[in-house]
Amino acid sequence: MELTAADRDLSVVVPTKCLDKDLQEFHDLLARWTNQIEFPVSKYVRLTVEENKIYRYKHNRLLVNRNGDVIAAYGTYNVGGPSYEDRPVYFLLPQFKNNTAVLLEILRALARRLPELFPDLQKQVWLSSEDFAFSEEKIIDRAIQTRSSEFEEWVTNKQKEKETIRQRFGFIADILTATEAAELPPERRLSQAVKKTLEFLEFQVEDIDAKIRGAIRKEDFWVKDEAFLAITEVSGTANKNPKTKEYNDLLGRMSTIFKRRDLLPDSSQVSGLLILNYDLENHPFARPRLYSGADEEIVEAAKENSIGLLSTVELYRIAVAAKDGLISKEQARSFIKKFGRIAYIPIGATAPSA
């Protein structure tokens, strides 16, 4: 057996069908605990076998994802005769919110299935079985089972609601991880996630028309809001801080538009907006400020040249604040229409020092 890295977006766990009624109890037990798995799951379990080789243990799946990757499993004897085939000899489990409770249930199930392994518990096991339960206890057990089923259904429905929310607003989170890599399909690139986020904030976002795109040799887009009109570039890098080339390139494209009156009726109103995703391997809230340190002069130059410098982290903060009703979308747009380094300042908070 070996462990492989699990998908970090895993959220749906599926119990497997049991082919041996003598082992059904263990499948039912883990199925009841799927909603208590601690996400994210970090590893899948994979069995590697050699052809025509007889192994001592048989590997049985308990919980899988939709692709069939194994999240929980157990082993039974593969040799030794029929009396050994229904004897669990190991369990491989993910982390649960209450590991102790899960392990206790497994031990109790083992004690019921293989009482000879727990001679000091034999009396307790049969006394606590349904055969010797009082009628009042059976009523309570049925009530517990009903409530458990209702709760599991409620959790399943809530998980579906979470998936719907993720699908509806996922583009806002995508701006923190996406890049402009050429091998990515257009719909998965950073520029598309940024475009959707700006449109969510009710900016007008348009592709630069063919005439201007030919002149500046770049497929950027316009971001508009009333009198605000910005030629916008989006770029992503794994570097700790983006290169100043991104800023210089945008400045050059703006200069081209200023000089070419035929490209725009009134190019004097054109500003710039540079949106950058960087330091991708680091937690977004631990990333350095955009163009900080040795590149701080870029921030002052951006103010003088009517260019906004916006990290995707700040765009994320602004978009989420608008989504949650902490600010209006108009207020969100007012943040983004500023020049220099753009930062989201919650209402009532003090702006950080430069």
186-341 topology per CATH: Trna Endonuclease; Chain: A, domain 1 (3.40.1350)
For residue 186, give every residue at least 6 positions away whose Cβ sits within 8 Å of its Cβ, in sequence order, or none: 192
Is the C-alpha dihedral spanning 317, 271, 350, 300 positive or negative? Answer: positive
Strand, helix or coil at 212? helix
Query: Which amino acid appears at position 87 of this protein?
Result: R
Helices (H), 175-309: 190-200, 210-216, 244-259, 296-304
Q: Where are the domains of the chain?
A: 2-132, 137-168, 186-341
The DSSP-derived string for 313-335 is: HHHHHHHHHHHTTSS-HHHHHHH
Tokens 């602004």 found at: 318
282: tokens are: 């680091």
For residues 22 and 228, give the distance between their C-alpha atoms in angstroms, rounded to a whole number: 71
What integer pLDDT is reported at residue 354 of this predicted model?
A: 47
Cα 39 to Cα 96: distance, rounded to the nearest angstrom = 8
Q: Which amino acid is at 167?
A: Q
Q: How far apart are the first and last CA of the chain?
A: 54
Q: What are phi and psi of 180, to 5 degrees?
A: -105, 25
The three-state DSSP-derived secondary structure of 258-271 is HHCCCCCCCHHHEE
299, 339, 335, 297: which is closest to 316 by C-alpha?
Answer: 335
pLDDT of residue 337: 94
Predicted confidence pLDDT, tens digits, the chain (354 residues): 888 888 877 888 889 988 888 888 888 888 888 888 988 888 899 887 777 777 788 888 899 988 889 999 988 887 655 556 678 888 999 999 889 888 988 888 888 778 788 777 655 556 666 777 788 888 988 898 889 888 888 988 998 898 889 889 999 999 999 888 888 888 889 999 999 999 999 999 988 755 565 555 565 788 999 889 998 999 888 888 888 888 888 888 887 777 665 566 565 678 999 999 999 888 999 999 999 888 889 999 999 999 999 999 999 999 999 999 999 999 999 999 999 999 998 876 555 554
pLDDT at 87: 80
Neighbours of 126 (CB within 10 A): 12
